[in-house]
Chain A
Amino acid sequence: MTPGTPDVGKPVPLLAMAATFALGVMVIPASLRFVLIPAALLIPGHAMVCAIFGSALPFGGFRKVSLMIVLSLTSYPVSAIAAISVGIRLTRVSVVVTMLLLVLVCAAIVDFRNRRSGDVALGMPNGDRNVATNGAAPEVPVQWTSLLVPGAAMVLAALIIAVSPVVLPRASPQEFTTFSLSNRWSLVAGSVPIPEGSEPTVQVQLVNSSTQEQTYRLEPSVQNGDAWEPTVITLAAGERWNGSVTGPVPASVCRARLEIDLVQEGSAVDFDPLVLFFDDPALDC
């Protein structure tokens, strides 16, 4: 670029920045990629600001950074809609590729602008010129030290707010017990065929999601059949039990109803029993 002409950005640094960012997205492990948040919020927007405004943006600093963030946030959905319209799904690779394409287009525009600015410097005809650099008051550099106190206050306030849900007392967590069919039995979709004389073994899961040890009793029973053996289980706080109940199913019965009831010692909770149905395959149920 010819000295003295407006600085509208340079395409090579733009592309290098975007390429480095893209490489970071593809190479850095997921657990560390949070370091790319500022780049994700700024790089596409920066490229667009350079391409659209050149040096004509009538403000800088806070508002310029804000505009870059807004344009970055809009670049992702617009790219995604464009990609999906040609059949490309949203994946990490497609996000990176569309972002690189966007920056490439922006860099091409910047390069075109730079060449035009060079032509102007050489006396070639030109349209509008940048007003932001014309007659502007001298720049007053920001005193970065004056950011220390506000910055420290904001960081401290953010820290206090971030950790307070963990540090300050809150209402006790909810305590409850869950019991359910487990393994293949949880997928039973209808009446289970049980040949006469065989005893099904129904797998059950029990979870004590309370803060203290609990004792439970599983009481299975089949409608119009012999009682099954109850099971007593003691679970520590947060402990999980995977086991089974077994017993006979009455012969020659369609849709024999099995109920597995749960009783929690020292508790008034009325659990609804688990319910299954059994068929005798010898019958036309």
Chain B
Amino acid sequence: MTSAQPLVRTTGFVRPSRRAARDTRSLGRSGMGRLVALCWIGLIVCAVGLSWSTSLASRAAPGDNTHFDVFWVSLLCFLLPASVALLRRNTRDLDRVLLVIALGLLSMAPKYLAYPGGPAFFDEYAHWTQTERLTEDGLLFQKNNQVVVIGDYPAMHATAASLRHITGLDTYEVSMVMLLAQHVVSLAAVFAIGTMVGKSRHTGGIAALLYAVGPGFWFFNAQFSYEAYAIHLFLWSCVSLVHLHTAGSTARIRTSWLVVGLWISFALVASHHLSSYLNLVVSTSFVAAALFRWILRRESTQHVVEVLLFFAVVAFLTIWWFFTQAPNTSAYYTPYLEGGASEMLSIVESFGAETPEIETTGEDGAREFFKGSTLPIYEQLISFVVPPLAALLAGISFLVQWRRGLARTAAVAMTLVASLYFLVFPLMLSETGAEGARRSWSFTSLGFSVLVAVGMVSIAHLRRRIVRGTLLGIAAVCIALLMVGNVAVGMNEVYRFPGPYIYGSDTRSATSDIFSAAEWFGDTQGPNQTLIGDRTTQVAFASEARATLGVPSAANPIWDYTIGEAVPSDDVLHSTVANELRYVVIDKRQITAIPLIGFYLDQNEPLALEREEPVGEASIAKFDQLDYALRIYSSDNIVIYRFDLGRVTDLVSEETQR
């Protein structure tokens, strides 16, 4: 079935080929045994180093970047020898598989070490709460005011709640089990695709390695969220598509893969909006590749029909879910699409101006890269190296494929997916577009990984030992650079490392006193009480106390309660009565700093992302004048008010009568 290392069926853990067995015998001669042993020693050193870097980070003084240095040195202790081992031709298949598994498991370590014991990222709280509620009441599709769209996509929460019922673990423990499994099976999917496209496990191992150092894999997709869950389904949907194109397979096998692909795609559609749309985009790439090769008479009509059938059913499922099961999705996307479009328009217009100042001023919606970043300078520099480096690697690999005559539909499709990876780079210039570009890379980097793996495999087949060794070393360094740059682009420091308190930073602003207040609130006031607070207190109260959150908007500016310096207007009071908003939580630290995220509660609030000074002291003193605000809880930083809704109603009706 393969040219280099034939795929062999076996009942064992992996199926070593004859060649692999021969390689095993020659281990001592080639030194591969020592290299692989170095990988495992490196893994232990890496574990110690990562742990140490997190400990250093939590106690670091401002400006001290030692923890970054320790983090990268530790990680490279494993990544570099593992890269060389996976790049070399005579590594045993078993070792390739084990290294890929280790890489998948290790990729969860930094997130765990930074914030052990519970959710930490903003979205994680919403998904954690949704899972807890689902476990308690057993109802799917329930609204969640923290991230309004997640109620439309219950697959991950249903999986976690089911596993909770089965295993008796709590939500955090179940999330860890799921994430570890997802990371390993994601790399297994890339491994499978690479193996089929490159016809060798050598290619598969390199593809998995490249995907593992790709965007989002180490931090963003290590969070308990529907997107991280959906990505592994997306990858296995692609495995099914690749199998549909595998030459030599019978109709029965292809039918089996069609069934698997559609089953997984259905679960994917019910998991996450963006992932399901990207699944459709990638399916389109496969259709285009199949049609292209069919026109060249290199693809059978049967294969084309099968992939068209797959695409049609997936398209139907995606559209059906959007219109019938996901009522909040359209409204959720609209501001992003409008914002992205207007920012891109501004940027395009600014290019036409005489003195475009895109990267220095941040005007016209353009981004200032790493503005206010605490990342070390080498990470920032390497992140600028990554796009041209990735383009160079992809270009060389494409030439390798081109010389081979684009022999497989799956390879052509993966090349098309890789091109999408590069097409969204201009979006990085806009604030809203950058978010979309970063999100898409977790998906399209599959194409990049497979394409570049096919090219890198060629290095190991070079005859001249010195050239081969040098190029392998360069390739390993390139992989390390990709890793550093992708992590730097994907996550800022506060999401990567623990450290001192930073107001409005999501991870570092969710302090013990907020959770203590939320716990008191849940114990005394009970669940489903409607409240308003800032972004951080809201997630804590929604998750810990099962509070229902008020939904602010331009038409319903209830942020006036938290950041407004004047007493709330009659319109806001009216909305308070209508929505039975009973509680306000104030973090007094709001007058000491601008939120790191750029806004206190919502992106629509006044001066969101533009604020240069924190809100004034009047924002927390205004309640002293109000005779309907009962202060029922107070601590060093947190204050909870309960509104006398009877008194508020009186005030509203008095005003109406006037």
| Chain A residues within CB distance 8 Å of chain B | 25, 28-34, 36-37, 40-41, 48, 52-53, 56-63, 66-67, 69-71, 73-74, 76-81, 84, 89-92, 94-96, 127-133, 136-143, 146-147, 149-150, 153-154, 156-158, 160-161, 164-165, 168-171, 173-174, 176-182, 186-191, 207, 209, 255, 257, 262, 269, 271-277
Contact = CB atoms under 8 A, between A and B. Distances in A.
B309 interface: no
Contact of B6 (A137, A168, A271, A276): A137
In this complex, which of A132, A161, A177, A277 has the most chain B Cβ atoms within 10 angstroms of its Cβ? A161
B409 to A, nearest CB: 17
A194 B630 CA distance: 17
B106 A157 contact: yes
B391 interface: no
B147 to A, nearest CB: 18
A207 to B, nearest CB: 8
Contact of A89 (B137, B236, B582): B137
The 9 closest A-B pairs by CB, nearest first: A89-B138, A30-B168, A164-B51, A66-B188, A33-B168, A77-B155, A157-B47, A153-B40, A74-B267
Contacts of B202: none
Interface string B630-658: 11111111111010111100000000000
Contacts of B498: 170-171
B232 interface: yes
B140 A81 contact: yes
Contact of A153 (B43, B97, B181): B43
Given A137-B17, A139-B10, 14 more contacts: A30-B168, A37-B169, A41-B177, A70-B264, A71-B260, A77-B162, A77-B267, A146-B94, A150-B98, A157-B106, A161-B109, A176-B516, A181-B633, A209-B512
Interface string B32-48: 00000100110110111
A232 B562 CA distance: 33
B520 interface: yes
Interface of B: 1, 6-18, 20-21, 24, 37, 40-41, 43-44, 46-48, 50-52, 54-55, 58-59, 94-95, 97-98, 100-102, 105-106, 109, 112-113, 116-117, 134-135, 137-141, 154-156, 158-159, 161-163, 165-169, 173, 177-178, 181-182, 184-185, 188-189, 191-192, 229, 232-233, 236, 239, 243, 246, 248-253, 256, 259-260, 263-264, 266-267, 270-271, 498-501, 511-513, 516-517, 520, 524-525, 582, 588, 627, 629-640, 642, 644-647
B159 A191 contact: no
14 contacts: A56-B253, A58-B7, A60-B9, A66-B185, A69-B181, A77-B270, A90-B134, A139-B11, A140-B16, A177-B635, A191-B647, A209-B513, A274-B633, A274-B634
A161 B158 contact: no
A168 B631 contact: no
B167 A37 contact: yes
B270 A81 contact: yes
Contacts of A91: 138, 165
Given A40-B166, A154-B102, A275-B631, A89 B139 contact: yes
Contacts of A95: 162, 165-166
A183 to B, nearest CB: 8
Contacts of A81: 140, 154-155, 158, 270
A170 B58 contact: yes
A56 B246 CA distance: 14
Nearest to B642: A189
A41 B181 CA distance: 9
Given A25-B165, A149-B40, A274 B192 contact: no
B113 A273 contact: no
Which of A52, A79, A177 has the largest count of B CB atoms less than 10 A from its CB? A52
Contacts of A33: 166-169
A262 B59 contact: no
B140 A84 contact: yes
A9 to B, nearest CB: 12
Contact of B94 (A66, A142, A188, A275): A142
A132 B69 CA distance: 49
A173 B512 contact: yes
Contacts of A275: 629-631
A70 B11 contact: no
Contacts of B512: 173-174, 176, 209
Contacts of A257: 627
Contacts of A255: 627
Given A62-B97, A74-B233, A137 B18 contact: yes
A180 B511 contact: no
B252 A127 contact: yes
B165 A92 contact: yes
A154 B236 CA distance: 25
Contacts of A92: 165-166
Residue among B21, B158, B525 facing the most chain A CB atoms (10 A cut-off): B158
Contacts of A161: 47, 50-51, 109, 112-113
Contacts of A32: 168
Nearest to A136: B9
A131 B21 contact: no
A179 B634 contact: yes
A37 B582 CA distance: 42
B524 A182 contact: yes
B183 to A, nearest CB: 11
Contact of B233 (A37, A70, A132, A176): A70
B44 A157 contact: yes
A70 B534 CA distance: 38
B55 A84 contact: no
Contact of B102 (A136, A150, A274): A150
Nearest to A53: B256
Q: Which of A29, A131, A182 has the most CB of B within 10 A?
A: A131
A142 B14 contact: yes
Contacts of B633: 178-181, 274
A140 B253 contact: no
A22 to B, nearest CB: 9
Nearest to A91: B138
B259 A140 contact: no
Q: Which of A140, A262, A276 has the most CB of B within 10 A?
A: A140
A180 B520 contact: yes
Contacts of B635: 176-179, 271
A180 B113 contact: no
B156 A77 contact: yes
A67 B192 CA distance: 10
Given A61-B13, A92-B165, A127 B37 contact: no
A67 B117 CA distance: 29
B7 A168 contact: no
Contacts of B159: 73-74, 76-77
B101 A62 contact: yes
B134 to A, nearest CB: 6
Contact of B139 (A62, A84, A132, A176): A84
Nearest to B185: A66
B130 to A, nearest CB: 12
Contacts of A271: 634-636
A201 to B, nearest CB: 17
A129 B253 CA distance: 9
Nearest to A173: B512
B634 A262 contact: yes
B513 A174 contact: yes
Contacts of A90: 134-135, 138-140, 158, 161-162, 165
